[in-house]
Every structure is written in structure tokens, then in C-alpha cells.
Amino acid sequence: MLLTGILALGAMTAIMVLALRPRWVESPLGGMDKAYRLHKWLGIIAITLSLAHWLAKQSKPLIATAIGSTGRLAKVPVPEWVSLLKPYAKTLGEWTFYALILMLVITLARRSVPYKRWYWFHRFMPLAYLILVFHGIVLTPPGYWSGVGGWLLALTMALGVVAAAMQLVRDLRSRYPHAGTVLSFTQLGDVLELQCRMDDSWPGHAAGQFAFLRLAGEQEAHPFTLSDADQQDHVVRFHIKQLGDWTRSLPKRLQPGIVVELDGPYGRFVPPDHDDGAVHVWVGAGVGATPFLSWLGQLHHDGHAPQAWLQYACQHAVDPLAQALKEAAALHPDVHLDIFADGHRWTPKEVLQRYRADKPLRVWFCGPAAMGEQLELTLKQSLPADSWQLHREHFEFR
């Protein structure tokens, strides 16, 4: 029972640290999108371990009968304050566990539960973590703290408490690191093109990176790819597809001059090195066109147009992002653009057609998760393992 609780708390501590979006995790994990993917799976693991911990507690009499008391920590007297706090630690821990189970259900039922409800419920997780630390401090057997495991547990708790406190302070401060003003916004079908001028704190961005965007005075923020290359003028551009309540209502809340806030830039989905002798294929679908728009802008700025095959899938050829890609790719004769729309469906075979046995294949994909998984499965089944690499963005943060 103690082990499952310690493991659950360890996973939750990692979640608290990742929720701060520390930049040092990007290199080892391959980008902040991968960090958020790890964050999500650690959450599922932590709640599963919490369930195992709860079940072990409920089955304590049966376990004691089955295995006896061999190997257990010797009981030692506890301070009076611990005895006084035990009922509160047990009750708070149990109710927090129920809240975590509800959080898991809401996360897994993302198609049925609106994002806004999930978002507001999720904001209470740092507080839930602090309650579970209190639960652990009071109920961990006193004899455990004197060993190496106890010291490691205390260090883990201290790290998590600091991370959770930083999140709570950040929410109370209610301001993102970089502020700017809206220069213009244009509705292009179901895509909103938004341009903002950031203040001097904006560090600039690499082509293909993303940032979390929110309007000043609001709490809800969403990640969007910066869809233009950095021009050293503190102007950023987004192409935002209307896929949810927040994005659909955004044009009504915008006007030139209002303040926006950004957290970023993040991500490692940046233009590749084209001097590696490989065949390069870029695949985008829907709003997944945006990093490639940014790449093409950067390549035009650099005056270097390497050979690449750009494949874009959308519903109709008049899609505004398809038109933007056409205009950007027209400046690069060695970038071959194929648009799959109006019944001309994209399949992974389009990528396989570019494979050459004498050259490695490098594929960059940004689009729906199911489409990316289909592409990865096809590459695994069709090509030698050492002949290809797939670079993907994972934007399903929920």
C-alpha cells in the first residue's frame, strides 16, 4: 500500500514540474508538445496508481491475513500532532482521490465534455497535489522517514510543493510573460489570420515553433503555431482554425489594439538540415499547414530553397491555408507542392512513392493524430527500420 502511494506521488510530482513548461525539458523530450504528451500519460499512470493504493487500503484486512506482518515497518509512537491530523489527512486524501478519478473520466471523455469544463477543473490540480502531500506526510509510517527512501520521498515532496506553489502564484498573477497588441485580423473561411505586435520582451521565434495565446484579462489559453518566419520586428502571425467554442468566438472578441499575451515560443518542429543527403517529405493536414508556412517564409528569408515534397490534405482546394501554401511554395521552385482535396484523398502511399533505396527518407508530419498514426504504421510495415525517420507534432494536450 505504501509503495503504490509513493509511486503515485512521484508521478504527480513530475506532472507538477512539467506543468510549469520548463524550457530545459524540450531538448531531451524533443519539444514542449512531447512534454505535454508525457504530462498526460503521467496523469493517467498517477491516477491508476492512486486507484491501486485505494484498493490496497480497502483490502488491508485480507492482505494482512494472506501475508502476515513479516517485513512491515515496526510501529513506533507518533507525535500528538500527527494523531490529531490523521482523520483530516484520511478524509481529504480520499475525497481528493475521488476528484482525480473524475478528472480521469473527463479527460478520457474529451469528445463528450467541453474543453472549458475540463480546463477549469484541471486548474485545481496543484491544490489537489498539495492535499495529497499533506496526506502523505501525516500517514506515512514514522519509521520510513529515517531511511534513504524517506529522504527521497521528502525531496520529491519538496520539489512538487515548490512547483505546485509556482503554478498557483502564476494563476493568481494572471499574466503571461509576453504582451502585445492586435495589429489586424482577417476571417478567411473558417480560418482566422491574426497579426500581433509583441513588446520588447518577446525573444523571437524559430520557424515552426508555437506559443500559448490568450486575451488579456482571460484565463483560458490555447497553443497555436506561429505561422510566419521571424522578421526581427516583434510581429507574430497565427492562422487559427475554428475547431472549438473558444476559436469560434475569438473573432467577435477581437479588435485592433486590444492586448494579447503569449507564453513561448516552444517546440522543436523546426526546418531540417537539408544537407544530409536524404529525401525530405513534409505532410500537413488542416491547420497542420501552419508550421510549413513558417518554414517556407524562413527559407525565403534565408534565400535557400532545398528540394522537398510538400503534401497537404484538406477538404476543398479553395481552403485558405491551401491557398497560402500555394503562394509560399511558388517562391521555391525546388519545393514540390501537392494538394489533396475535393475527393483526391491523401494516403501514406503518397509518401512511400518518394522513397529511394539509396537515400534515407525524412518525413515531417503535422495534422490529426489518427492520420499521423496511420502514416507511422505504414512506414513501419513497408520500409526497413533504418531507412526512414518520422518527425511529428503532438498537439492533443488534453
The answer to whether position 272 is within a domain reads no
Domain identity same for 136 and 4:
yes
**107 and 221 co-located in one domain:** no
Q: State whether 328 and 229 are in the same domain.
A: no
Residues 23 and 153 grouped into a single domain: yes
DSSP states of 296-355 as a string?
HHHHHHHT----EEEEEE-S-TT-HHHHHHHHHHTT-TTEEEEEE-TT----THHHHTT-
Low pLDDT (below 70) residues in the chain: 1, 60-78, 111, 172-175, 273-275, 305, 396-398
Please return the burial class of 247, using the count of CB atoms within 10 Å of its CB with bins 0-12, 13-18 and 19+. Answer: middle
Convert 196-210 to b/e letters by CB count within 10 Å (16 or more is b). bebeeebeebbbbbb
Q: Is residue 292 part of a domain?
A: yes
Residues 9 and 101 in one domain: yes
The reply to whether 130 and 245 lie within a common domain is no
**Which CATH number covers residue 252?**
2.40.30.10
Query: 366: closest CA among 255, 287, 256?
Result: 287
User: 273 in a domain, yes or no?
Assistant: no
Q: Establish if 271 belongs to a structural domain.
A: no
Residue 386: domain span:
279-393
Domain boundary among 202, 236, 266: 266
Residues 333 and 230 in one domain: no
What pLDDT, on a 0 to 100 scale, did the predictor assign at position 398? 62
Domain boundary among 172, 207, 233: 172
Total structural domains within the chain: 3
Closest by CA position to 1, among listed 155, 136, 158, 148: 136
Per-residue pLDDT, 159: 96
- Alpha carbons 122 and 126: distance in angstroms, whole number: 9
User: Is there a domain that residue 146 lies in?
Assistant: yes
Q: Are residues 152 and 188 in the same domain?
A: no
Position 32 scores a pLDDT of: 87
First to last CA, the chain: 30
Name the pTM for this structure: 0.82
User: Could you tell me if residue 66 is inside a domain?
Assistant: yes
Are both 100 and 223 inside the same structural domain? no
239 and 296 part of one domain: no
Could you tell me if 220 and 322 lie in one domain? no
Instruction: Give the CATH number, domain containing residue 307.
Output: 3.40.50.80
Report the C-alpha gap between 189 and 239 in whole angstroms. 11
In terms of domains, do 301 and 322 share one?
Answer: yes
The per-residue pLDDT of the chain, averaged, comes to: 86
In a domain, 398, yes or no: no
Among candidate residues 266, 295, 322, the one where a domain is terminated = 266
Residue 384 lies in a domain: yes
How many CB atoms neighbour CB 187 within 10 A? 11
